[in-house]
Chain A
């Protein structure tokens, strides 16, 4: 298995909802990442996990809460989001932190 999968593909949520994004890889990679990408902009790093421990939080608002239950899974819990949080949320993984990263297909999030 040589890919990163993400679910759901699309998500529409209200500002009072709680939802979660899921990312999975079975390549044995020990680093996983969450990025946010707005239209016509490059990906913007949010969080980095290395060996299931959070190693980078790029000053992301607390309404975004990451979780790494095991070496293959990465979740992003969403609560009380704002319309400006609407974006493509990308998960990536790499063999080790700092190695070349492979992206999943992304979750297109719309906050109403």
Chain B
């Protein structure tokens, strides 16, 4: 069974700071990685996809991928209270062609 590990948190950061969320995965051949944001009582919302080593930026969000270390991260710059949510890391399992989700990290941004 392929695994995706995340620190459950909660990760608390002050408003305006950078929030750093981390994820490791066990499937060495995985090529596709996703970050979802889920507010309490709502469904997951796709916020970033990354497929190549390095950084990918989209507004205040930066996804970082290091396939050699089997590590993917999400940075949120200028964190806002509205960023408070659970962030789910998902890795595509190449053999089964399906997503494996981490348990999620709870982020709390304090004003």
C-alpha gap A43/B104 in the complex (Å): 10
> Cβ of A103 < 8 Å from any Cβ of B?
yes
> Cβ of B43 < 8 Å from any Cβ of A?
yes
The residue on B at minimum CB distance from A31 is B97
How many of B's residues come within 8 Å of A, CB to CB? 19
Give the residue of B88, B92, B97, B98 whose beta carbon is less than 8 angstroms from that of A42: B88
Q: Are B102 and A48 in contact (CB under 8 A)?
A: no
Q: Given A41-B103, A100-B49, does the pair A48, B44 have CB atoms closer than 8 Å?
A: no
Which interface class (under 10, 10 to 19, 20 to 34, 35 or more) fits A? 10 to 19
The residue on B at minimum CB distance from A94 is B99
C-alpha gap A41/B88 in the complex (Å): 10
> Cβ of A98 < 8 Å from any Cβ of B?
yes
C-alpha gap A106/B36 in the complex (Å): 15
Chain A residues whose CB sits within 8 angstroms of the CB of B101 once the complex forms? 42-43
Per-residue CB contact flags for chain B residues 74-96 toward chain A (1 = under 8 Å, else 0) read 00000000000000100010001
Q: Given A42-B88, A100-B34, A100-B49, does the pair A90, B103 have CB atoms closer than 8 Å?
A: no
**A interface vs B, CB < 8 Å?**
41-43, 45, 48, 56, 88, 90, 97-98, 100-106
Q: Are B99 and A101 in contact (CB under 8 A)?
A: yes
User: For window 54-73 of chain B, which residues contact chain A by CB distance below 8 Å?
Assistant: none
C-alpha gap A48/B98 in the complex (Å): 9
Nearest-CB distance from A81 to chain B (Å)?
21
